[in-house]
Amino acid sequence: MQRQRKEQGEQTRQVIIDVTTRLFARQGYAGTSLDLIAKEAKTSKSSIFWHFENKEDLLFTVVDRAMSEWEVKAGSEILAQPDPPRQLSKLIELYRDLAEERPDTLRLLLGLLLETTDANENVKKRFQRMYRGYRTSIQIIIEEGVNHGYFERRLPTEHLAAMVLAIFDGLFVQWFLDKNAVPDAIFESVKRTVFSLLMPGKPVPAPEETRLHA
């Protein structure tokens, strides 16, 4: 009986997250009330508070779930590459895949970021940590490449990491507005541009095909 209640509780929690994700994407954070979430999830408001401290906690859960699956997959595939140039090349390809395969996730995240960070300091700090983690991941790969003689240090690595992330955020926004303005070939142009700063005069390395264990 206790196990059944636990499973039912987890199912209710997942339904609340699914419904909230859909409503945030459609109506935004401010336009989604807990009453509406409870109605759409066919549960009670008290049930929401049983699983989540408040609406802000629910927002963090939605954001974390939206990106965690991709982050785990990306981390595994990047680490499977044999050297920093191929790791960076793979990272750029994974950002392209994220835009093409999970546009709803990006639309949700960018929408929530733009809507909530000015109004809520805790939310702003959460997004700051997320972006700091992405910049650091890129910077670590570039630093490793410099230290092992693959890359030239033409720019501070933290500047280049921020620039790479900024390019992709800008492309995502343009892609949402007009898909035809961001053809697939543009990602190859981004890759060539980045590597021209790190490995001038050398061909862009292609990532190795890897088989990851489940």
pLDDT tens by residue, 78-90: 999 999 999 999 9
* Residues 141, 78: Cα–Cα separation, whole Å: 10
Confidence category of residue 14, pLDDT binned at 50, 70, 90: very high
Q: Give the domain CATH number at 30.
A: 1.10.10.60
Of the pLDDT bands very low, low, confident and very high (cuts 50, 70, 90), residue 210 is: low
- Do the domain assignments include residue 137? yes
Residue 130 lies in a domain: yes
pLDDT > 70? residue 211: no
Domain co-membership, 22 together with 103: no
14 within domain boundaries: yes
Angle CA 166–106–141, to nearest 5: 45
Cα(172)–Cα(166) distance, rounded to whole angstroms? 10
The CATH number given to whatever domain includes residue 144 is: 1.10.357.10
Model confidence at 158, pLDDT cuts 50, 70, 90, reads very high
Per the prediction, the chain carries an average pLDDT of 87
DSSP 8-class letter at 207 = P
How many structural domains compose the chain?
Answer: 2
pLDDT band (50, 70, 90) for residue 4: low
pTM, to two decimals: 0.80
Q: Are residues 23 and 99 in the same domain?
A: no
Residue corresponding to tokens 């992330």:
165
Residue range(s) defining the domain that contains residue 70: 54-198
The predicted-structure confidence for 121-139, as pLDDT tens digits, reads as follows 887 888 888 899 999 999 9
pLDDT, position 113: 80
If you ran DSSP here, which 8-state letter would residue 30 be given?
T
Q: Locate the DSSP E strands across the chain.
A: none
